[in-house]
Amino acid sequence: MSAEHVLLAALFLAVPITAKYVTSFQIRTLMDGLKRRDREIDLMYARLDGLEQEREVIEGAVLQVFEQRRWSTTRRDLMAEELQRTQRRRPRPRRAPAVEERFEPEMPPVWEPETGELSAAAAEAAPFARF
């Protein structure tokens, strides 16, 4: 066998082996991408489950608010009816018109010393006093 035959045989063997390794690396890359996307899908399903639970909680809260509104409306109507019944039973007292009196404030008493002379303490404080 000549060197040409050996090289040609090596080439024929290298092509399928190279193709096998290239395809295996591509398959590994594709599998990694598939696993990553599968994890993303699982996360999206978890978010969807969370959103559905949140929606159920909100719907329950809305129903509770409607129920409370209905009960408060019923209580308000009952209280209004009771108020009307009590107002019908009891006549309103008539009030006499209020007479408006004129208000005149009293003048506060003014202190004046009984004697014309000031005490020693008052004499000292007199220059500082401002009337």
115 within a domain of the structure (yes/no): no
Reduced to 3 states (helix: H, G, I; strand: E, B; else coil), residue 101 is: coil
76 within a domain of the structure (yes/no): yes
List CB contacts of 126: < 8 A, sequence separation 6 or more: 118
26 within a domain of the structure (yes/no): yes
List CB contacts of 113: < 8 A, sequence separation 6 or more: 122
Per-residue model confidence as pLDDT tens digits over 14-34: 898 999 999 999 999 999 999
Pull the structure tokens for residue 50.
């969370």
- In this prediction, residue 95 carries a pLDDT of 73
b/e for 48-76, b at 16 or more Cβ within 10 A? eeeeeeeeeeeeeeeeeeeeeeeeeeeee
Q: Which domain holds residue 78?
A: 3-90
Reduced to 3 states (helix: H, G, I; strand: E, B; else coil), residue 126 is: coil
Residue 114 backbone dihedrals phi, psi, to 5 degrees: -70, -35
- In this prediction, residue 81 carries a pLDDT of 94
111 within a domain of the structure (yes/no): no
84 within a domain of the structure (yes/no): yes
For the entire predicted model, the pTM comes to 0.45
125 within a domain of the structure (yes/no): no
Distance CA 58, CA 60 (A): 5
- In this prediction, residue 115 carries a pLDDT of 62
Residues of the chain short of pLDDT 50, as ranges, are 131
- In this prediction, residue 37 carries a pLDDT of 98
123 within a domain of the structure (yes/no): no
Instruction: Please count the structural domains in the chain.
Output: 1
Pull the structure tokens for residue 112.
């004046």
108 within a domain of the structure (yes/no): no
